[in-house]
């Protein structure tokens, strides 16, 4: 039954995404290529002293990305530390330094990892002025970097890749803000709460007292999902009935988190002047998505063990209003994007089921990936695939009329190596340093053994790939994890951005070479198959040894 249900739900999501693919993709292309500015945009440009008609080199574009991100970290950290003097603090104390550091980096890097219980830690001012604002900005930054790379493929002997401040402003005002308002209205109408009532004490059916938090949930939920940010207003995240009350809202959230990343493939095809290239990219993304969803659903549906047999299904950690089907669809969507929101607890999945969300993130979140980050990650893999094809069959290393020389391949290779290095190094250091290991094993890991290793591995995979979901059995609010995961989030976000923008600058400066008989066609099903294979094989070769020590070993016990 669950298999048929997830197939029906996936087909519904696929139909909706197919219907919006063309209009949303073309609209995003229009946003970033239009020459007219809105009045509010012109006022903002004058305020910050930006000439909207001037384009930036990749170095200048990068400095702008880093500058606004640094300002975001400082402001969000300060808001958390000053919470007690802010309005609507709900009587909550200032947030500790370690948590404030980790959270500031988390939301600025589009990770939204939370090592605290949000509803009893942060007042409404920090939630709205701090977290929600960064949800918009971090998502828009990812879009900016993706658009810059797309422009580079279309450019001919250009020393510039666009204007970051114009791209950022348009991305927020013309795309993220209106879609978020619409999504928030639908969520409110569907039962997601939106108020400023604070805590309400109620009497339960057993006569006990319970304090229930309210809050501006729908407005934060909309951009959290649409911008593939993740996190949650409540500690239970999108498993909480105030955030995700029904099967309809769960399906709606899946559509929202996939809408922009999938449609960006259409934007890419439009900007480079060959929409078949966009179809090849979206075909690759969809193929990986279907493979992952099928595997996870099978692992959970056929889950073995005493508890699943007694319950009739592997329902531990899942909401009965969603069941296995909606839980696996949500888990696949949230980890193949960089969203990180959850409507079920991934830590309670079967051993091999828990492997799949982890493996999704290890793929680099490219199917379809986060807002912006997914498409530029997939384009990097496309460059690697073209290079591999050239080695295997003697094709000319060209992609979209751009020569792929040593510099381009080095930048693409370094991009591929960044997150595995962070994941494996962070996991290894957690057990290699005696004092750290004692703290990790004595404080953080509640499930010692193979599953404990999986929990730590999942945490660094999530942080380094800017996802934000977690195997919730791990206690991460410790000095080591706040510092180490914060560093992983920071490096996992900005080192790839540096490499992508450097690659964009190199490609933009090139001339376009005409296709010849030796040029590999990159808009055909054969290339889609090659790109899927390269994506999976690269990840498998990189992570297989550590997966064999954790979830694979646990699943084979």
Task: Identify the residue with better confidence: 286 or 515.
Answer: 286
pLDDT of residue 4: 76
Residue 367 has pLDDT above 60, yes or no: yes
Q: What percent of the chain has pLDDT over 70?
A: 98
Mapping DSSP onto H, E and C, the string for 509-551 reads CCCCCCCCCCECCCCCHHHHHHHHHHHHHHHHHHHHHHHHHCH
Task: Identify the residue with better confidence: 35 or 226.
Answer: 226
What pLDDT digit, counting tens, does each position of 178-188 carry? Answer: 999 999 999 99
Place of tokens 């391949």: 409
pLDDT of residue 473: 86
Is the distance from CB of 268 to CB of 382 less than 8 angstroms?
Answer: no
Is the distance from CB of 61 to CB of 501 less than 8 angstroms?
Answer: yes
Is the distance from CB of 56 to CB of 64 less than 8 angstroms?
Answer: yes
Q: What is the mean pLDDT of residues 470-482?
A: 92
Q: What percent of the chain has pLDDT over 90?
A: 80
> What is the value of pTM for the model shown?
0.95
Residue 162 has pLDDT above 80, yes or no: yes
Task: For the chain, give the mean pLDDT.
Answer: 93
d(CA 171, CA 258): 17
Residue 306 has pLDDT above 70, yes or no: no
pLDDT of residue 396: 73
What pLDDT digit, counting tens, does each position of 382-414 carry? Answer: 999 999 998 887 777 899 999 999 999 999 999
What pLDDT digit, counting tens, does each position of 184-232 carry? Answer: 999 999 999 999 887 888 888 888 888 888 889 999 999 999 999 988 8
Residue 345 has pLDDT above 70, yes or no: yes
Q: What is the mean pLDDT of residues 516-522?
A: 84
What pLDDT digit, counting tens, does each position of 241-271 carry? Answer: 999 999 999 999 999 999 999 999 999 999 9
What pLDDT digit, counting tens, does each position of 12-33 carry? Answer: 999 999 999 999 999 999 999 9
| Cβ neighbour number for residue 181 with a 10 Å cutoff | 13
Cβ burial of 380 (10 Å; 0-12, 13-18, 19+) is buried
d(CA 550, CA 455): 9
The phi and psi torsions of 380 (rounded to 5 degrees) equal: -65, -45
Residue 439 has pLDDT above 90, yes or no: yes
d(CA 428, CA 546): 10
Q: What is the mean pLDDT of residues 347-365?
A: 93
What pLDDT digit, counting tens, does each position of 441-475 carry? Answer: 999 998 888 999 999 999 999 999 999 999 988 99
Q: What is the mean pLDDT of residues 276-292?
A: 97
pLDDT classification of 307: cutoffs 50, 70, 90: low
pLDDT of residue 303: 73
**3-state DSSP helix/strand/coil % of the chain, to nearest 5:** 70, 5, 30
pLDDT of residue 203: 84
Is the distance from CB of 340 to CB of 462 less than 8 angstroms?
Answer: yes
pLDDT of residue 97: 94
pLDDT classification of 308: cutoffs 50, 70, 90: low
Residue 304 has pLDDT above 80, yes or no: no
Determine which of 123-132, 424-433, 515-524 has the lowest per-residue pLDDT on average. Answer: 515-524
Q: What is the mean pLDDT of residues 133-139?
A: 96
d(CA 323, CA 315): 7
pLDDT of residue 78: 97
């Amino acid at each position: 039954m669950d298999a048929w249900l997830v197939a029906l739900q996936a087909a519904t999501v696929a139909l909706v995404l197919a219907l919006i693919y063309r209009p949303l993709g073309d609209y995003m292309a229009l946003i970033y290529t239009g020459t007219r500015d809105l009045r509010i945009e012109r006022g903002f440009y004058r305020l910050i002293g930006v000439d909207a008609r001037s384009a930036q080199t990749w170095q200048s574009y990068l400095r702008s990305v880093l500058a606004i991100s640094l300002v975001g970290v400082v402001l969000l950290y300060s808001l958390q530390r000053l919470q007690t003097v802010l309005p609507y603090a709900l009587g909550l104390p200032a947030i500790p330094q370690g948590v404030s550091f980790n959270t500031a980096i988390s939301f600025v890097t589009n990770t939204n990892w939370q090592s605290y219980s949000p509803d009893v830690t942060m007042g409404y001012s920090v939630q709205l002025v701090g977290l929600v604002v960064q949800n918009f900005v971090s998502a828009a930054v990812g879009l900016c970097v993706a658009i810059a790379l797309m422009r580079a493929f279309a450019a001919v002997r250009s020393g510039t890749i666009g204007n970051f401040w114009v791209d950022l402003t348009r991305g927020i005002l013309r795309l993220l803000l209106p879609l978020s308002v619409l999504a928030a209205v639908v969520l409110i109408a569907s039962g997601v709460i939106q108020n400023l009532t604070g805590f309400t004490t109620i009497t339960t059916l057993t006569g006990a007292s319970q304090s229930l938090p309210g809050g501006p949930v729908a407005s934060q939920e909309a951009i959290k999902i649409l911008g593939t940010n993740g996190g949650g207003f409540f500690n239970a995240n999108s498993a909480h009935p105030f955030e995700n009350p029904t099967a309809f809202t769960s399906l709606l959230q899946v559509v929202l988190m996939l809408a922009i990343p999938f449609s960006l493939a259409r934007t890419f095809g439009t900007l480079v002047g060959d929409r078949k290239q966009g179809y090849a990219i979206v075909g690759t993304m969809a193929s990986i998505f279907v493979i992952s969803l099928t595997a996870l659903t099978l692992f959970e549906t056929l889950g073995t063990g005493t508890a699943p047999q007694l319950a009739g299904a592997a329902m531990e950690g899942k909401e009965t209003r969603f069941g296995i089907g909606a839980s696996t669809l949500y888990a696949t969507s949230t980890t193949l994007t960089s969203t990180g929101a959850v409507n079920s607890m991934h830590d309670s999945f079967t051993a091999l089921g828990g492997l799949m969300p982890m493996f999704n993130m290890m793929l680099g979140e490219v199917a379809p990936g986060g807002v912006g980050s997914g498409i530029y990650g997939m384009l990097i893999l496309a460059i690697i695939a073209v290079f591999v094809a050239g080695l295997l069959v003697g094709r000319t290393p060209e992609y979209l009329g751009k020569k792929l020389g040593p510099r381009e391949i080095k930048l693409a290779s370094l991009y591929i190596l960044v997150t595995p290095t962070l994941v494996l190094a962070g996991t290894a250091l957690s057990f290699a340093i005696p004092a750290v290991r004692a703290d990790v094993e004595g404080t953080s890991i509640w499930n010692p053994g193979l599953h404990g290793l999986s929990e730590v591995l999942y945490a660094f995979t999530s942080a380094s790939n800017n996802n934000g979901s977690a195997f919730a059995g791990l206690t991460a609010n410790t000095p080591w994890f706040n510092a180490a995961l914060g560093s992983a989030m920071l490096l996992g976000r900005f080192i790839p951005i540096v490499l992508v923008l450097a690659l964009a600058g190199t490609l933009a400066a090139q001339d376009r070479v005409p296709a010849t008989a030796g040029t590999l066609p990159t808009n055909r099903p054969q290339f889609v198959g090659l790109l899927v294979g390269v994506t999976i094989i690269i990840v498998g070769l990189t992570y297989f040894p550590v997966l064999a020590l954790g979830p694979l070993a646990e699943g084979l016990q």
